[in-house]
Amino acid sequence: MLTFKRGVHPPDEKSFSAEKEVVMIQPEVGEELCFPMSQHIGAPCKPTVAKGDYVKMGQKIGETTGFVCSPIFASVSGTVKDIRPVLTPGGAMSQAVVIENDGKMEPVEGLNVPKDYTKMTNEEICDAIKEAGVVGLGGAGFPTHIKLAPPPDKKIDYIIVNAAECEPYLTTDYRIMLEEPERVVRGLQVVLKLHPEAKGVIGIEHNKPKAIESMTKACEGIDNISVATLRTKFPQGSEKHIIYSITKREVPSGGLPADSGCIVDNVDTMVAIERAIFRGRPLMRRIVTVSGRGAVNPGNYKVRLGMTYGMLLDKVGGFTEDTAKIISGGPMMGIAIHSLDTVMTKTSSSILCFTEAESQLPEERNCFRCGKCVSHCPMGLMPNELNKAAIYGDHAGFIEFNGMDCIECGSCSFECPAKRQLAQSIRAEKKIQMALKAKQN
Amino acid sequence: MAKTFTVSSTPHVRSKESINSIMRDVFIALLPATVVGIINSGALMPNAIVITLVSIFACIFFEFMWQKLRHEKITISDMSAAVTGLLLAMNMPASAPVWMPIVGAGFAILICKQLFGGLGQNFINPALAGRAFLLASYPTLMTNWAGTKFYDAVSAATPLAQLKTGVSAMTYTTMDAFLGRVPGALGEVCALALIIGGVYLLVKKIISWRIPVIYIVVVFVLTAALGRTGGRVPVYEICSGGLMLGAFFMATDYVTSPVTPKGQMLFAVGCGVLTAFIRKWGGYPEGVSYSILIMNLLVPLIDKNTRPKIFGEVKKA
């Protein structure tokens, strides 16, 4: 079975929602939906509409302002009520177009017009993907069209579909693979058209046998696409680690997947590409796992972008009295949100409701050098030393121990018997390092 | 009013393992050897029980008093002091006077551990340092095996002391050494009981195989190669003295062993070589404690030079 070195085994907790079919959740008439202009890595978009304008479903309401950027589309029709800052999961405020849903779902001109990718040039395909607002839906939100067009000197020989879904609780990718496997394959075929020399590999962890079966069946008879079974281990879905598991290549420190001849995209990103090309629809929806011991109705829900976490929770039964923590994303790398008014974005993969008991912060003790952080760090770092450097403000020591290579997966903190906040301190120091570097330039 | 939620950094889930659970498991793993040691004390059994308990409670008491007087958080419930106390007792003869474990505990906890900053900060193993301190200060009392069940009044020596003279001086069989039918410190005599405890720690993933296995194998190979006057008895060598106790429970002490996997291997090799050399050429019959203590001192150096290869490392031009 394919895997990488080190890593951890958190309890997978997927049984809450794994066998629940995706249910469509619609916003009600009159409800206000917010579309933050920053839902991706890169420059924020610029609103193309003004207060009082009428917008149609699928209409572009935020246009790109830089190279690394991805446009934003209205997921409903209605009137622009306001353009104001709203809270996004990262905790930052982002300028957003606020639309009052009129419930008519009136489509914009050109929506739902399929394209024939076999007759399109590579530039046209990339452009269509860009103009559909497709970004990496695994969580990072990097604009997909940039990833698909690496510098010409990088030869791409693997297109990897990241279907590891190694975070506990999350089951959206799993449901997509069971319910719409052929769309994943079609999306991958579009990408393979761009890189005809490359092989398509769909990497799935071995704790999802039904997904492996479903995807294997969907790729039957297609020569350049195969399914790879990966060992269930966190962080198997990390870009660098899934590349290593499948190709045994290490993305060089500070480099990109293209440096190892790979492009990695999430399962749902493939579906978004498929939707952009085969159905002429931009990215307007998101599949969200609602789970955790505090969730009343755990399940998988397809929502229109623009809803807040609170709106979705209200529509699916909410959370129990003793819920004390709400997490956007998985429990290893997700963000604890402080307000239900936080707006869901393209990358909001889940809402986890943790109970009071699960939300207790353990007391931090002295490091007693057990070495578990070192023997589990998937990047081969020494989190104990990085923690020390971060705490003492030893900026040079942090670099000496390769702190900038940390992928912030949290494996070290997960394992630490002294319950030290290793990942937290390293993340904070990384920010300081970036600020120091920016100052120097 | 809107509900407030807990906000914290990632990860939001933690493993169940804690300092407390690890120390508890180490304590449990030491029990079989302790019980065998106490039973083998024969007529001295009551005294053996007393010094074991005194040692444990003295360690806990010293840690408590230090933290109390310095207005630090009291951490005796993590059981690390209790483990030190039990290990110290296991290094004593059943005939030890009751004040001896108290002196040893004071040295171990106050001087070796707390003076350097408490848990995680000591650079040598407190229990071993306590034993070394007692052995240097009271050599006769620390090596008085008289009165225990398997004491041989004729030779009045432990298996390793006999070996120092030569293979012909051996009065015990390998099976005696394996099952603990030999004189020696309370917890070190029964290799079988120590292996059972060690396997428990391995299964629970509290220790890795690296240090104990490499340490024992190196001692086996070197004693086989070097030999003794009159022959080679490597199996007997690894079952005797403090090797099993040292390899499974002392050298694997987290605080005083390397954190890097490669470093742990190097550390174990160092322990093995020193042990074999001291046994063969040293002034003492046994070299486990000093080997581990010496290697403890080299840990920072080992860690510094055995850093793991980072993922995607780019060779510096």
- Reply yes or no on whether the pLDDT at A264 is more than 90: yes
**Does the distance separating the beta carbons of B310 and A380 come in below 8 Å?**
yes
Mean of the per-residue pLDDT values of chain A: 94
Contact A28, A103 (CB under 8 A): yes
State residue B165's pLDDT score.
Answer: 81
State residue B316's pLDDT score.
Answer: 55
| Domain extents in chain A | 135-278, 372-440
State residue B153's pLDDT score.
Answer: 67
Tell me which H or E stretch contains B270: helix B261-281
State residue B2's pLDDT score.
Answer: 62
State residue B1's pLDDT score.
Answer: 45
- The CATH architecture annotation of domain A135-278 reads 3-Layer(aba) Sandwich (3.40)
**Does the distance separating the beta carbons of A419 and B10 come in below 8 Å?**
no
State residue B286's pLDDT score.
Answer: 86
Asked if the structure places residue B292 within a domain, the reply is: yes
- Reply yes or no on whether the pLDDT at B41 is more than 90: no
| Of A325, A333, A370, Cβ closest to residue B5 | A325
For B13, which residue in chain A has the nearest alpha carbon? A331
State residue B231's pLDDT score.
Answer: 84
**Does the distance separating the beta carbons of A384 and B259 come in below 8 Å?**
yes
Asked if the structure places residue B3 within a domain, the reply is: no
Work out the minimum CA distance from B69 to partner chain A, whole angstroms: 20
Q: What is the mean pLDDT of residues B201-220?
A: 96
Mean of the per-residue pLDDT values of chain B: 91
- Reply yes or no on whether the pLDDT at A409 is more than 70: yes
Among A169, A242, A363, A370, most B C-beta atoms within 10 A, so best to mutate, is: A370
The domain that contains B128 carries what CATH number? Answer: 1.10.3430
Name the domain count of chain B: 1
Work out the minimum CA distance from B16 to partner chain A, whole angstroms: 8
CA distance A426 to A398: 9
Q: What is the mean pLDDT of residues A242-251?
A: 95
CA distance B201 to B186: 20
Question: By residue range, what is the domain housing residue B229?
Answer: 19-304
pLDDT > 90: percent of chain B: 73
State residue B3's pLDDT score.
Answer: 75
Structure tokens at A100: 């009052």
Query: pLDDT of A54-78, one tens digit each?
Result: 999 999 999 999 999 999 999 999 9
Structure tokens at B181: 């039918």
B309 vs A contacts (CB less than 8 Å):
380
Query: pLDDT of A168-189, one tens digit each?
Result: 999 999 999 999 999 999 999 9
Query: pLDDT of A276-315, one tens digit each?
Result: 999 999 999 999 999 999 999 999 999 999 999 999 999 9
DSSP reduced 3-state for B69: helix
Split at pLDDT 50, 70, 90, the class of B201 is very high
DSSP reduced 3-state for A22: strand
State residue B149's pLDDT score.
Answer: 79
Among A14, A244, A342, A369, most B C-beta atoms within 10 A, so best to mutate, is: A369
Split at pLDDT 50, 70, 90, the class of B314 is confident
State residue B313's pLDDT score.
Answer: 82
Asked if the structure places residue B224 within a domain, the reply is: yes
- Reply yes or no on whether the pLDDT at B154 is more than 80: no
CA distance B117 to B99: 26
| Of B7, B257, B314, Cβ closest to residue A252 | B314
pLDDT > 70: percent of chain B: 97
Split at pLDDT 50, 70, 90, the class of B209 is very high
Helix (H) and strand (E) counts in chain A: 13, 17
Mean pLDDT check: name the lowest of A217-226, A350-359, B137-146. B137-146
Q: What is the mean pLDDT of residues A351-357?
A: 94
Contact A311, A327 (CB under 8 A): no
* ipTM surpasses cut 0.95: no
